[in-house]
Amino acid sequence: MPYQFNIEDENGLSLVSTHGHIRSAQDATQFLEDVIEALRQNGSRKILLDLQDLDLRAFEYFDRHGLIRKLATESDSHCFRWAIIASEDRAKPLNDFETIARNRGYELKGFHTVEEAAKWLTR
């Protein structure tokens, strides 16, 4: 598997740390499915998804609209509040993804630090 993730619960938040790489739309879709399924099992709805250690160089070429459509097929996915952390060199794709998701009714915001993301999730 090209990626790995770990979920830790802390102060009512689920911190999803990631490692490895996502190099295709299929990898991205599978990653999203795997993370959502794991989050359903632990019951948390406030998600801090840290992508800083995940190689996303190809992400800017992915169909971000397609990923959001995939998210929409998950019946309870609107119940999650997402704070996504990515390195500053991924700001443009992250901002695009945030805009697409928010336009479809998702509570999702991009950040560059864990501290900012956690503060937003706990407000």
Condensed to tens digits (0 to 9), the pLDDT of residues 42-97 reads: 888 899 999 989 887 655 555 666 777 666 666 566 678 899 998 888 788 788 88
| 82 within 8 A of 108, measured Cβ to Cβ | yes
Position 111 pLDDT exceeds 90? yes
Domains of the chain by start residue, with CATH: 3-121 (3.30.750.24)
Q: Residue 56: which of 14, 84, 15 has the closest Cα?
A: 84
pLDDT (tens digit, 9 = 90+) per residue, 9-31?
988 899 999 999 888 778 888 88
How large is the average pLDDT for residues 102-109? 87
Q: What is the pLDDT confidence band of residue 123, given thresholds at 50, 70 and 90?
A: confident
Residue 36: per-residue pLDDT: 85
pTM: 0.83
Residue 49: per-residue pLDDT: 92
| 4 within 8 A of 34, measured Cβ to Cβ | no
Q: Residue 110: which of 95, 88, 92, 90 has the closest Cα?
A: 95
Residue 119: per-residue pLDDT: 94
- Per 3-state DSSP, the chain is made up of helix, strand and coil in percentages (nearest 5) of 45, 30, 25
Residue 113: per-residue pLDDT: 93
DSSP assignment letter at 122: T
